[in-house]
Amino acid sequence: MKEFKTEVDFDSQINNSKLLSIGWLCTYTPEEVIYAAGFHPFRLLEDTPSTKLADTYLHYNLCPYVRSCLDFGLRKENQLLKGIIIVNSCDAMRGLYNIWSRYLSAETFVHFMELPKVATSLAVDYFKKEIQKLINSLEKHFGRRIKESALYEAVGIYNESRDLMSELYELRKDQSLPLNGTLVSRVVRAGQIIPKKTFNQKLKKLIAEIKTTRARADQPEKPRIMIVGSLLYNSQLIETVEEAGAVVVCDDLCTGSRYFEGRIEDRDNLVEALSRHYLLKTPCARMKDTSLRLEAGRKRVEEYRVDGVIYQTLKFCDNHLYDYPVYQEFFKKLDVPILQIENDFVGGNLGQIKTRIEAFIEMLSMV
């Protein structure tokens, strides 16, 4: 198979930006508000995370991602990081907020946002107030007003980004395209880290390249994989899957489609529109309604012609761990094989995982 090579550079290191920044951790954070406040919003997502410093504060049986974010804060390497928004997404995030506000609030502004687990009209109303509180809190701390026009512009830029990423994912449905999951994962990762306008330009260029340089060569059929679960720091796992002879065609990850799906249509009442968008999107495992995730998974299996599912969870992520038995049963009924991987992905220890992935792909190749 001819590999698709792009000239566009999607390398994303979180410390490369030269802009005053505010970090976020959970995809339920309304990034548009941070952008409208004049800061560069980026996700605390290190390519090669460490938890060495954080482990002296947080016990190792708490989420490795949360510990890696604390570690990033404790290293104090990023002088441009002016604040952090922590959302009440899970137990570990609450622990992180307590520690961050105790030990790092002198250096960085820290704001805690409530996040309902239900997507009812009552909850949308409640979350709307939370978004307004975030606006007020940023305005008060940094002494700058977040104008309606700035929020309007932010929503436009973020919508454009969402549309472009959706377009890229659409291209993955085309089996004749040599577009691999490793590249897409690097793109989505960059989307969470590099400035949005720059990212949108790069992504437009990439999409144009893909459309014009279609290498519709004689490609052997490869098992098509969907990755489901919590988050991936980098493309290492996807690379492992693809090196084993499969192609990753779609995902349900918070560092994947859960980050960008949907768009904000109502631009008259922006705060309410943001609340609706974030609460009503395809849910993370933390939300009440698991059936919506399952249904979205079933649709993806059909649309992307998925042969097998890899369910990956960060260690100690209760929300995703509890959903695995439900997923296992659901995909079994759909006759789609599923493999579970549970790891901290911090030490780069992929040896055992690699063996299991290879066996899984081999099994799919025989079908």
Partner 1 sequence: MKKKSQKRMITKDMLKTKSFYLKSKLLNRSRRGDPRLKSTKKMVDMVLNLNLKAIQQEKPITLTTILSPSEILYALDLIPICAETTASFLASFGLGDDFLTIAEKHFHSPETCSFLRCATGAVMDNLFPQPAAVIATTHLCDAGAKMISYASQVYDCEYFLIDIPQEKSEEAIDYVARQLEEMAQRLSELTGRKLSKEKLAKAIERSNEARRYALQANELRQSIPAPMRGSEALSYLYLPGIGFGSNETVEIYRKMAAELERRVAKKFSPLEEERHRLLWLHVKPYFPNRLFRYLEKEKKASIAFEEVNHIFWPELDPEQPFRSVAQKLNANLFQGPIDSYIELLLNLVEKYKVDGVVHYAHWGCRWNYGRMPNVKEALQAKGIPFLRLDLDSISSRDYFEGQLNSRIDTFLDMLS
Chain positions contacting partner 1, by CB under 8 A? 57-59, 61-63, 88, 90-92, 94-96, 98-99, 102, 112, 114, 116-118, 122-123, 126, 129, 285-286, 288, 290, 315-316, 318-319, 321-326, 328, 340, 342
CB of 88 to partner 1, least distance (A): 6
Of 167, 159, 201, the residue nearest 184 (C-alpha): 167
CB of 63 to partner 1, least distance (A): 8
Of 159 and 340, nearer to partner 1 (C-beta) is: 340
Of 91 and 239, nearer to partner 1 (C-beta) is: 91
Distance of alpha carbon 111 from alpha carbon 22, whole angstroms: 11
Residue 235, both tokens: 């493309």
CB of 66 to partner 1, least distance (A): 9
CB of 308 to partner 1, least distance (A): 17
Of 260 and 316, nearer to partner 1 (C-beta) is: 316
Measured at the alpha carbon of residue 179, what is the angle toward residues 177 and 185, in degrees to the nearest 5? Answer: 155
Which pairs from 348-352 meet CB under 8 Å and 24+ separation?
348/48, 348/236, 350/236, 350/237, 350/240
Class of residue 45 by CB neighbours under 10 A (exposed 0-12, middle 13-18, buried 19+):
buried
Give the distance from CA 167 to its chain's centroid: 17
Of 114 and 302, nearer to partner 1 (C-beta) is: 114
CB of 251 to partner 1, least distance (A): 21
Of 62 and 207, nearer to partner 1 (C-beta) is: 62
Of 75 and 214, nearer to partner 1 (C-beta) is: 75
- Contact, 191 vs 152, CB < 8 A? no
Of 42 and 127, nearer to partner 1 (C-beta) is: 127
What is the 8-class DSSP label of residue 54?
G
Alpha helices in the chain (DSSP H): 31-36, 64-75, 91-103, 121-142, 148-171, 181-193, 196-212, 236-243, 257-260, 270-280, 290-303, 318-333, 351-366
Of 98 and 108, nearer to partner 1 (C-beta) is: 98
CB of 71 to partner 1, least distance (A): 14
* Total H helices, total E strands in the chain: 13, 8
Strand order in the sheet with 224-229: 247-252, 224-229, 308-314, 338-343
CB of 206 to partner 1, least distance (A): 37
Q: How many CA atoms lie within 13 A of 104 on its CB side?
A: 27
Distance of alpha carbon 53 from alpha carbon 142, whole angstroms: 29
Of 190 and 279, nearer to partner 1 (C-beta) is: 279
CB of 203 to partner 1, least distance (A): 34
Residue 155, both tokens: 């929503």
CB of 160 to partner 1, least distance (A): 32
